[in-house]
Chains A and B, each alone.
Chain A
Amino acid sequence: MDRTTIDLWVGIFVALGVAALLGLAMKVGNLTSNKIGDTYSVSAAFENIGGLKPNAPVKSAGVVVGRVADISFDAKSYEAVVTIRIDERYAFPKDTFANIYTAGLLGEQYIGLEAGGEEDVLKNGDKITQTQDAVVLEKMISQFLYNKASETDSKADAGGAKSDAKASGEKSGGAKSTELGDAPF
C-alpha cells in the first residue's frame, strides 16, 4: 500500500479519536456545564450535614451559583464547617440563610442559599451564621412514630374517660390537629 494513502488513513483515524474524546468531554461530560469563573469562598457551620459531599452544588432559587469546596469538622464546637465557593458575579447579603436540601426524595444533597435583606454583602472568608441542618430521615420517622403513638394514647385515654364515643372522637380529632401543628415538618 502507498505510504501517502496510509498516512491519510492514519490521519483520519487520529482525527476521529480526538473528535470522539472532545465529544465525550463536551457532550457527555461536565466540561461545559461545570464552568464557574472566579469565585469567593464563604464558610458555614452546620450541626449535621447529612450526606453532603465536596463538589455538591450550591443553589439559590434553583440556579447553581457555586460548589462545596471543603468539609471539615470543628472539634471545639462539634460542628461541621462547610466551605463553599460562590461565583463572583453573585453577591449575597450578610444575613443569607444556608440550608441543606435533598434533591428529590433520595437524590443528592445540596446547599440552598436564601438571600436576606441586609445591605452588606458576603466577602471572601466571611461566615454564614444562619444555617439549617440536613433533614435526617430516621429522625423524622421516629418523630412521626412518636407523635402517632401519643395520639393513640390520648385517644385511648379519651375513650376510657368518656362513655360517649362521639365526644371522644371529637376530642381526639382536636388533639390530632394541634399535634400536627406542633410537628416540625
Chain B
Amino acid sequence: MKSILFNGPSKLLRGIGRRMIERIWRLGAGARLFFLTIIYSGESFRRFHLTLREVYFTGVMSLLIIIVSAFFVGMVLGLQGYNTLQKYGSSEAIGVLVALSLVRELGPVVTALLFAGRAGTAITAEIGLMKTTEQLSAMEMMAVNPIARVVAPRFWAGVISMPILAALFSMVGVLGGYLVAVPLIGVDQGAFWSQMQASVDVREDIINGVIKSVVFGVACTMIALFEGFDAPPTAEGVSHATTRTVVISSLTVLALDFVLTSFMITV
C-alpha cells in the first residue's frame, strides 16, 4: 500500500523530470545546429544556386496559399470591421483597421503559421528521409559537409522567403479589404486610403512587421531543420518529427510574437 502511494507520485515526478531534461537537451542541440549553420553559411554562399533552388521550393511554391489566404483574411477583416465600426458611425476607419491589423500582426503571424505547415513540414520530411536513407552519412563519407550542403541553403531560403511572403500577405490582404469596403459596402474610396495613410507609420508599423517576419523566418526554418536532423531514422520517427515541426513552430511563433510586440509597443 505504502509502495503504491509512494511509487505513483515518484514515477510521475520522474517522468516530468525526464521530459524536462529531454526538452532542455533538444534546445541545446538545436542551438548548436543553429550556430553550426551560421558558421558554415559562408561555404554554402559560394554555391548560391543551392539557396536559390530552396527559395524556389519554400518561397515560390508557397505563393499561392499565401495569396489566396491573405485575400480571404483581408475580406473577412473588411466585413467584420465594418459591422462593428458602423455602430459608432465611423465606417471610414475600416481602412485603418484592416491595414494596421494586417501589417502589424496578421501578416507576419499568419504567414509564419502557413509557412510552418506548407514549407516547414516539407523541410523536416525531406531531411528526415535523407537521414533515414543514410544520404547524410554518405555525404560525410565523401567529405561533403551536410550542414553546408543541405541545412544552410534551406535555412537562408526560409529567412529570405518569409519577409517577402509576409509583405505580399499584408498587401494582398489590404487589397481584399479594399474590395469588400469600397465596391461592395460603399465606403468612400478617398477616406479609405487617406485615413489609412494618416495612421500607418512606415517605421513603427511596416518596418516592425518586416522585423517580426524575419525573426519568425529564422525560428520556423530552424525548428523544421532541427526536427528533420534529429528525427529517429524510421518511418514513424519522421512522421512524428513532421508533426512536432508544426506544433512547435506554431507555438514558438505565437510566443515570439508576444515578446516582439511588447518590445515594439511602448505603453
Contacts and interface: CB of A to CB of B under 8 A. Distances in A.
Contacts of A32: 197
A14 interface: yes
A6 B57 CA distance: 9
Given A13-B60, A29-B205, A31-B202, A24 B55 contact: no
Interface stretch (A15-23, A125-133, A168-176): A15-23
In this complex, the member of B60, B163, B196 whose beta carbon has the largest number of chain A beta carbons within 10 angstroms is B60
A13 B197 contact: no
Interface string A2-18: 01001101101110110
Contact of B164 (A7, A13, A30): A13
B23 interface: no
A28 B97 CA distance: 12
Contacts of B164: 13-14, 16-17, 20
A136 interface: no
A69 B103 CA distance: 26
B200 A28 contact: yes
B198 A17 contact: no
Given A10-B60, A16-B168, A24-B171, A29 B52 contact: no
Given A21-B167, A21-B210, A23-B171, A28 B56 contact: no
Interface in B22-64: 49, 52-53, 55-56, 59-60, 63
Interface string A32-54: 11100000000000000000000
B197 A28 contact: yes
A29 B254 CA distance: 25
Contacts of B59: 10, 13
B205 to A, nearest CB: 7
B168 A10 contact: no
B75 interface: no
A1 to B, nearest CB: 8
Nearest to A55: B201
Contacts of A23: 171
Interface residues of B, number: 32
A30 B52 contact: no
B91 interface: no
Interface residues of A, number: 24
Contacts of A13: 55-56, 59-60, 63, 161, 164
A148 interface: no
Given A17-B167, A24-B103, A25-B206, A10 B55 contact: yes
Contacts of B196: 28
Contacts of B161: 13
A62 to B, nearest CB: 14
A10 B197 contact: no
A20 B60 CA distance: 15
Contacts of A7: 49, 52
Contacts of A33: 194, 197-198
Interface string B158-183: 00110111011011101000000000
Given A9-B56, A13-B63, A3 B205 contact: no
Contacts of A29: 197, 200-202, 205-206
B56 A20 contact: no
Interface of B: 49, 52-53, 55-56, 59-60, 63, 99, 103, 160-161, 163-165, 167-168, 170-172, 174, 193-194, 196-198, 200-202, 205-206, 210
27 contacts: A3-B53, A6-B49, A7-B49, A9-B56, A10-B59, A10-B60, A13-B55, A13-B60, A16-B164, A20-B164, A20-B167, A20-B168, A20-B172, A21-B206, A23-B171, A24-B170, A24-B206, A25-B202, A28-B103, A28-B174, A28-B196, A28-B200, A29-B197, A30-B197, A30-B198, A30-B200, A32-B197
Given A13-B56, A28-B196, 9 more contacts: A9-B60, A13-B55, A13-B63, A17-B167, A24-B167, A28-B170, A29-B205, A30-B197, A33-B198
